[in-house]
Amino acid sequence: MSAPRFPPGATVRIRSAFPPGHVRAPWYLRGRTGAVSHIVGEMGNPEEFAYGRCDGPKLTVYRVRVRQPDIWPDYAGPPHDTLAVDVYENWLEPAGEEAP
Amino acid sequence: MSDSHGHSHPHGPHPFQPDVEDAPLTHYQILQLAVAELLIEKGVFSGGDLRRTLEAIDSRSPADGAKVVARAWVDPDFKARLLADTNAAAAELGVDAGTIPITTVENTPGIHNVIVCTLCSCYPRLLLGLPPDWYKSRAYRSRLVREPRAVLAEFGTALADDIEVRVQDSTAELRYLVLPMRPAGTGGMDEDALARLVTRDCMIGVTLPDNPDT
Amino acid sequence: MPEISLPSLLPGAGVTHNCVMPADDKTRLRRHHDMGGLDAGPVERSEHDYAPWEKCVDAILRLLSGPKRGVLQIDELRRGIEDLGPGAYDELSYYERWIAAISNLLIEKGVISIDELGRKMAEVEARHEAERAKGGKA
C-alpha cells in the first residue's frame, strides 16, 4: 500500500466538481472543507464498479470530519456538531494552505 | 399473450408463490416473478438458492446487533475488538456480519453518533435486518445531515448542547453501527436482559436505549 | 501534485459558502437521489413488514451480486436506480425501483432478453389470473 496522500489531521476539501454519472461525493459536501479523522483503507472505485469495471486500481478512502457550520452557514445547532463522511481519494484536494 | 408462445422449458414446481393470491399482481410483482423464473431456468441460481437466501434474510433482525452491543457493554476487551473489527467481533458471537466491513462508532458522554445514507440507503443489514421505511425516506435522508437535532427530537431524543452530534453519512463500501451508551441503573442486569434494552433505533442513533428505571 | 485550480465554468464553484452559487445552478447540478440537505417534512415513522415479493427482490440481488456469481455489482444497481430518473423516486416504491433497475441491468448484460422477459411476464400473469379464477376470486 502506497503512503496515503492525506495523513490523519490533514485539512482537505471535497472537490467541487459536477460530472454526470454515478458519483460518490454527496452534492451538499462538494467544496466543503474538513479534516481527515482517519484512513479507512484502500477500496475499489465505486464510480467504476457502477459501470461493471472492477479491475481498476484501488483508491484510499478517508474519513473526513466537517464542522456543521462549515457546511451550513445557518446551522441551527451548536457549532461543535460535526458530520463524518467517507471520501475516496480522487474527490479530495489539499486545503491546508488557504484560509476558507 | 398466453402460454402458447412456443417456448418449451420444463417448468418444475414454482419455488415461490404470489403473496396475495386473491388480488391481481402489480406490474413490478410480475417483473419480479418473471426475472426469478428466468434466472432459475437459465441456471444462474436455483430455486433452492433463492429459498435459502430468503431464509437468510428472515433470520436477521436487530437482535443480532443487540447481542453484540450487550456483550460490548459487559466485556471491555470485546468492546475493543468490536471497535477495531466489527465483523470479526460479531463472528465471535456466532453472528455472520458478511463481507462488507462494518464500523462501530461509539457514543460517549460527549459524542452522539447517528447514521444516514444520503445517496441511497446503506444499512448494516446483516446486523440489523432490513431497514425501516423511514431510514430510506426522503425526509430522513434529506434532513438528518442539515438539522440532526430537529430530526432526533422527532424521535423523542433531546441531547444537551454540550454534546457533539456527529452525523455519519454512509457513502463508501462500508456500513455503520452505533454502540450506544449503557444506561445508568443497569449494573445488576445480565447480558440477555441488557440486549433486550438495545433497540434497532438506538443502533442507528436516533434514540437512546431505554433506562429501565424511568 | 500542485494546488488544483477549481473549474471556472461554474459561478462560485469551490467557494465554501453555499449561498454563492446561484440556486438555479445548484438545482440543475444536483442529481435527484443525492438529497442530503434538502428541505423536507417531518420523518414519517410508519413502517411496514416487507412483502414476500419485496424480500424476493432483495434475495435476487444478493444472489446476483454475491462473490460466487458476480453477475452484477451493487454499485451497478445503484447506478441503475439513479438512472431511472427523478420520477422513479416519487412514483415507485423502494423494491419496485430495485427490480426495475435489476431487470434493466440483466438486459444490458445479455443475461435475459427483452423478448423472453416479455413472454415470461405474460405467462406469470396468466398463471396468476387462472389461479384466481379457480379460487372464484377473479
Local confidence band at C17 (pLDDT 50, 70, 90 cut-offs): very low
Closest partner residue to B136 (CB to CB) among C94, C124, C127 is C94
Q: Which residues pair with A11 in a beta bridge?
A: A35
Give the right CATH number for C52-134 from 1.10.760.10, 1.10.3720.10, 1.10.472.20, 3.40.1190.20.
1.10.472.20
| Contact flag A28-C6 (C-beta cutoff 8 Å) | no
In a domain, B21, yes or no: no
Residues on chain C touching B118 (C-beta within 8 angstroms): 34-37
Whether the Cβ atoms of residue C124 and residue B25 lie closer than 8 Å to each other: yes
Closest partner residue to A86 (CB to CB) among B148, B166, B171 is B171
For A79, how many CA atoms within 13 A lie in the half-sphere containing its CB? 2
pLDDT at B12: 40
Touching partners of C (3+ C-beta pairs < 8 Å): A, B
| Contact flag C94-B121 (C-beta cutoff 8 Å) | yes
In a domain, A55, yes or no: yes
Residues on chain A touching B119 (C-beta within 8 angstroms): 24, 26
Taking the domains of chain C in order of start, what are their residue ranges? 52-134
User: Domain holding B196: CATH number?
Assistant: 3.90.330.10
Q: Are residues B123 and B35 in the same domain?
A: no
For the four alpha carbons of B12, B17, B23 and B25, in that order, the dihedral sign comes to negative
pLDDT at C134: 87
Q: Quote the cell numbers at residue B97.
A: 456480519
Structural domain span for residue B34: 27-58
Three-class DSSP category at B151: helix
User: Which of B138, B119, B140, B121 minimizes the C-alpha distance to B206?
Assistant: B140
Q: Are residues B175 and B94 in the same domain?
A: yes
In a domain, B138, yes or no: yes
In a domain, B37, yes or no: yes
Local confidence band at C12 (pLDDT 50, 70, 90 cut-offs): very low
d(CA B154, CA C50): 24
Q: Are residues B178 and B77 in the same domain?
A: yes
Task: Specify the pairing of strand A82-88 against strand A92-94.
Answer: unpaired
Over residues A28-81, the pLDDT tens digits come to 999 999 999 999 999 999 999 999 999 999 999 999 999 999 999 999 999 999
Q: Are residues B185 and B82 in the same domain?
A: yes
Q: How close B118 gets to chain A, by Cα (Å)?
A: 7
Q: Which residues pair with B178 in a beta bridge?
A: B105
pLDDT higher than threshold 90 for residue C119: yes
* Residue C50: DSSP 8-state: P
Whether the Cβ atoms of residue A25 and residue A4 lie closer than 8 Å to each other: no
In a domain, B46, yes or no: yes
Number of domains in chain B: 2
| Contact flag B54-C125 (C-beta cutoff 8 Å) | no
Whether the Cβ atoms of residue B206 and residue B135 lie closer than 8 Å to each other: no
Q: Are residues B123 and B75 in the same domain?
A: yes
What value does the mean pLDDT take over residues A85-98?
89
Q: Report ipTM for this prediction.
A: 0.94
Scored b (16 or more CB within 10 A) or e, B101-113 reads bbbbbebeeeebb
| Contact flag A81-B169 (C-beta cutoff 8 Å) | no
Q: Are residues B125 and B196 in the same domain?
A: yes
Q: Are residues B33 and B97 in the same domain?
A: no
| Contact flag B35-C103 (C-beta cutoff 8 Å) | yes
- Encode chain B (214 residues) as per-residue pLDDT tens digits: 333 333 433 344 444 544 456 789 999 999 999 999 999 999 999 999 999 999 999 999 999 999 999 999 999 999 999 999 999 999 999 999 999 999 999 999 999 999 999 999 999 999 999 999 999 999 999 999 999 999 999 999 999 999 999 999 999 999 999 999 999 999 999 999 999 999 999 999 999 998 776 5
User: Domain holding A37: CATH number?
Assistant: 2.30.30.50
d(CA C1, CA B33): 52
Residues on chain A touching B172 (C-beta within 8 angstroms): 24, 40, 43, 46, 61, 86-88
CA angle B192, B200, B154 (to 5 degrees): 135
In a domain, B1, yes or no: no
Number of domains in chain A: 1
Structural domain span for residue A84: 11-94
Q: Are residues B152 and B83 in the same domain?
A: yes
Interface test with B, best of A27, A28, A80, A89 (most B CBs within 10 A): A80
Residues on chain A touching C32 (C-beta within 8 angstroms): none
Local confidence band at C124 (pLDDT 50, 70, 90 cut-offs): very high
Q: Are residues B43 and B146 in the same domain?
A: no
| Contact flag A86-B119 (C-beta cutoff 8 Å) | no
pLDDT at B21: 64
Helix axes B62-74, B76-84, angle to 10 degrees: 130
Over residues C39-59, the pLDDT tens digits come to 999 999 988 999 999 999 999
Whether the Cβ atoms of residue B159 and residue B111 lie closer than 8 Å to each other: no
Task: Specify the pairing of strand A11-14 against strand B111-116.
Answer: unpaired
Q: Are residues B64 and B53 in the same domain?
A: no
In a domain, B141, yes or no: yes
Q: Quote the cell numbers at residue C51.
A: 412483502
Over residues C64-111, the pLDDT tens digits come to 998 889 999 999 999 999 999 988 888 999 999 999 999 999 999 999
Between C24 and C91, residue with greater pLDDT: C91
Q: Are residues B111 and B151 in the same domain?
A: yes
For the four alpha carbons of C51, B139, A69 and A6, in that order, the dihedral sign comes to positive
Q: Quote the cell numbers at residue C56.
A: 424476493
